[in-house]
Structure 1
Amino acid sequence: MMKRFYVFGFLALMLFDTLAQVSFKYASLHAAPLMMDVQWLVRVFGHPWIYGAFIGYIGAFFTWMTLLKYAPVGPAFAASHLEIISVTLVSVWLFDDQLNPVKVIGGLLILTGILCLAKGETAVS
């Protein structure tokens, strides 16, 4: 039961974090040029992507607080970095970012670290 809770919880956290980052990217693209004036604020808050970013951050906050209540801190903190992988992959798809060997190796190291911490946590329990 708790295993399913962790899986769905960390998937929700990853989705909320990814929504926030992608929404901020789109909001920044539509708010250009950067000028600290009223017209810029109107462009930022007049575009729906900024609200997607707020929803993403609020959702991530509440999901993270719920997960921390039940999950071991070490694996939970490591798993919270899954959004680095999801944002990288979504950025390749949506923004034509390049997926280079360094990013692939970094993603694999993140996954390896999460698996090692999770395995270590279950061995201790």
Structure 2
Amino acid sequence: MRRGIVFGFLLLLGFDIAAQLGFKYAALAAEPLAADAAWLLRVAAHPPIYVAMLGYVGAFFTWMALLRHAPIGPAFAASHLEVVAIMPIAMLLFGEEFSWVRLCGALAILGGILCLAADEAHGPA
């Protein structure tokens, strides 16, 4: 059971990362941003937007399956690991800059997930 939950979270993380990368690539390809039909057509013409959509659909179904077995508090916190995981990927692929503030934020997210998981492991007081 525990292995399945860990696998599910890794799968969720993969779907979320795929969605974020798909959106980023589609946004870059559809520049300049405009609220008109031509811009929507530019977005629709780029395959990364479909990767993003599939990522969100995959994440939705994975999340629904996880919620059947995982406690909601730690599960919700762990579902935000993509915020931490996407940072180094964005640095490599898009040249986004490193900052100490981002690193501190990532560490705070990881710390919160660990605290919730530890609390869940000890059960109710």
Instruction: Verify same fold: TM over 0.5.
Output: yes
Structure 1 equivalent of residue 81 of structure 2: 82
- Pairwise CA distance, 1:97: 0.7
TM-score, normalization: structure 1? 0.93
Structure 2 equivalent of residue 73 of structure 1: 72
Q: Percent identity?
A: 54
Deviations 1:47-91 (A, max 9, x none): 100000001100010011111111001100100110101111211
Number of residue pairs aligned between Structure 1 and Structure 2: 124
User: What is the alpha-carbon distance in structure 1 between the residues aligned to residue 42 and residue 53 of structure 2?
Assistant: 16
Give unpaired runs (5+ residues) of structure 1. Answer: none
3-state DSSP of counterpart to 2:98:
coil
User: What is the alpha-carbon distance in structure 1 between the residues aligned to residue 34 and residue 119 of structure 2?
Assistant: 49
Cα RMSD (Å)? 1.2
Structure 1 equivalent of residue 117 of structure 2: 118
- Pairwise CA distance, 1:39: 2.5
Give unpaired runs (5+ residues) of structure 2. Answer: none
